[in-house]
Amino acid sequence: MERKKALRIATIALIIATLAMFSISIYNIIAFVSGAVYPGPSLGLKQIPSGDYLLSLSLNSTNRGFLDVDLSTKMIVFDTNGVLVGTNSTSIHIPAGQSGSAYVSLIVPSALASGGNPQNMKGSMQMELELRVLWKLVGVKEVVRSGSGTQ
């Protein structure tokens, strides 16, 4: 009888905890995304002394939620034949209520970076932005693929 009662209480407690965790996680993700919209991720392409280009992705964000957020960004570049040119990633931890910035860069051969404009780059590019909350157990990942010969 006692075991049954304990099991019933534990089940109800777990249901409440699950609902609370779900609501808090979703709220925190939405709060973080709304804080990341302005000014939003910026993509840059600069020529370096070797003649190649440095492709960079930077993101400044404020964590408006009440849970810590782990933010990771990844950049992958392929040439016109779909062969991997390079990949780089970074990840940061932003405590609740604080701001943080993520920066990731990649050297791109000059043959692919025409005119120094990331929009006109030859080949294809993949950008990944992932944010995780609740000890990295819940998260959202956005994958943006652009260019010809998209992988």
Candidate segments 79-87, 95-103, 109-117, 140-148, binder of other proteins by CB under 8 A: 140-148
Of 43, 54, 68, nearest to 105 (Cα)?
Answer: 54
124-133 and 69-78 as β-strands: parallel, antiparallel, unpaired? antiparallel
Q: Does 107 bind other proteins (CB under 8 A)?
A: no
Q: Does 111 bind other proteins (CB under 8 A)?
A: no
Which strands, in side-by-side order, build the sheet including 42-47? 42-47, 53-62, 99-108
Candidate segments 88-96, 99-107, 109-117, 136-144, binder of other proteins by CB under 8 A: 136-144
Residue with tokens 């960079």: 56
Q: Alpha-carbon distance 49 to 51, whole Å? A: 5
The DSSP bridge partners found for residue 86 are 77
What part of residues 7-46 is at the interface with other proteins (CB under 8 A)?
7-8, 10-11, 14-15, 17-18, 21-22
Residue with smaller CB distance to other proteins, 52 or 130? 130
Q: Which residues bind other proteins (CB under 8 A)?
A: 1, 3-4, 7-8, 10-11, 14-15, 17-18, 21-22, 132, 134, 137-147, 150
